[in-house]
Amino acid sequence: MQKIDIYQSIDVQGNAIGESIKSKNMSQETIANYGFIHSVESCGTVDGPGIRFVIFTSGCPLRCLYCSNPDCRYLENGRKVSVDEIIAEIQKYKSYMEASGGGVTISGGEPLFQSTFVREICKRCRSLGIHTALDTSGFCDLESAKSVLEFVDLVLLDIKSFDPVTYTKLTSVAIEPTLTFAKYLDEINKPTWIRFVLVPGLTDDPENIAGLANFIAQLNNIERVEVLPFHKMGEYKWEQLGFEYLLKDTLTPSPKQIQAALDIFRNRGILAI
Ligand code: SF4
């Protein structure tokens, strides 16, 4: 499996990502205390239960064709922040989180791309009694991820396709690390929500969805599956960055297509919404 950390990650063109960080000779302690974020959302309502403080980290080894945040592919696209700064900001919203059954969600980019930084945030939140959720593609170095998961209450795992060929066509990486990650979450009985983006003509093949549903049905830790309709909200960013947006002609799924996908999961006894 490809090892992912800020020193050893490789982009789809084979270029080292994070070289500029390495060249700054940052110590392990600095790496744990500082990280790179794209943005934050103080009152998010779609990334886990209740009202959530959502942190979008920068840096991601995937290249999803529908990515809404192509402007956070690299660590350097983000702003350098300390864990102390983030925690101070989070604490301002603690009462909203508590009253709504919410917490903090770390999303991206790919949060496990900065595992030591994310671990530190989750650890601090845990000590403050704040619920933590990790939104990840599962494409990561499992050993680094394990130490983060100790301090994570809920995982939002994006499985973008089940057919390996479609998965790679969509993301530019292999599906195996994500499936290994999913099995590990089951092994440690970590509460998990699966997220699946329904893209007409790409991920909507009933066999593909059935494969994913059969895989999920074997796991005991999955609380729900969220079927997310494909949208083009990030298209303008691709254009601004001079990247070619290959899903220009792809339509958003119809209510009937969404229902058909939901039925495949529900027919296997999975809570799908
Ligand atoms: S995993 Fe998320 S952030 Fe990374 S390319 Fe895919 S959609 Fe974009």
What confidence tens digit (pLDDT) does each residue in 224-257 have? 999 999 999 999 999 999 999 999 999 999 999 9
Which of 110, 171, 237, when mutated, tests ligand 1's pocket best, judged by the most ligand atoms within 8 Å of its CB?
A: 110
138 lines ligand 1 (CB under 6 A): no
Q: What is the mean pLDDT of residues 63-86?
A: 96
Q: What is the mean pLDDT of residues 199-204?
A: 98
Residue type, 62: L
Helix 176-187 and helix 142-149, axial crossing angle in degrees, nearest 10 = 40
Closest CA to 195 of 176, 174, 178, 218: 178
51 lines ligand 1 (CB under 6 A): no
Sign of CA dihedral 2, 3, 8, 10: positive
* Assigned token pair, 129: 């009694």
Closest CA to 162 of 200, 213, 110: 213
Cβ-count burial 73-99 (b if 16+ within 10 Å, e if not): bbbebbeebebeebbeebeebbeebee
Q: Is residue 210 part of a domain?
A: yes
Q: Is residue 273 part of a domain?
A: no
Question: Mean of the per-residue pLDDT values for the chain?
Answer: 91
What ranges in 92-219 are assigned the alpha helix state H? Answer: 94-100, 115-127, 142-149, 164-171, 176-187, 206-217
**103-107 vs 132-136, strand pairing mode:** parallel
Q: Is residue 8 part of a domain?
A: no
What's the CA-to-centroid distance between 83 and ligand 1, angstroms? 23
* Assigned token pair, 21: 């960080």
109 lines ligand 1 (CB under 6 A): yes
CA dist., res. 175 & res. 151, Å (int): 25
Q: Is residue 74 part of a domain?
A: yes
Q: pLDDT category, 258, cuts 50, 70, 90?
A: very high
| Rg (the chain; Cα; Å) | 18
Q: Which atom of ligand 1 is nearest to the CA of 66?
A: 7
Q: What is the mean pLDDT of residues 118-133?
A: 98
Q: Which domain holds residue 256?
A: 27-266
Give me the pLDDT at residue 28, please.
54
61 lines ligand 1 (CB under 6 A): no
What's the CA-to-centroid distance between 78 and ligand 1, angstroms? 15
Q: Is residue 62 part of a domain?
A: yes
DSSP code for 254: P
Q: Is the pTM of this model over 0.85?
A: yes
Cα atoms in the 13 Å half-sphere on the side-chain side of 43: 6
Torsion of CA 212, 218, 221, 227, to 10 degrees: 20
Q: Is residue 19 part of a domain?
A: no
**Residue nearest to ligand 1 atom 2, measured at CA:** 109
Is the separation of the CB atoms in 67 and 46 below 8 Å? no
189: CATH: 3.20.20.70
Q: How many domains does the chain have?
A: 1
26-40 pLDDT, tens digit per residue, is 555 566 799 999 999
Task: List the 52-57 sheet strands across, edge first.
Answer: 79-82, 34-44, 52-57, 103-107, 132-136, 154-158, 192-198, 222-229
**Residue nearest to ligand 1 atom 7, measured at CA:** 67
CA dist., res. 138 & res. 181, Å (int): 6
Which residues pair with residue 192 across a beta bridge?
155, 222
Whole-number percent of the chain with pLDDT over 70 = 89
Residue 12 vs residues 17, 64, 159, 169: alpha-carbon distances, Å: 10, 11, 19, 12
**Residue nearest to ligand 1 atom 8, measured at CA:** 67
Give me the pLDDT at residue 29, please.
55
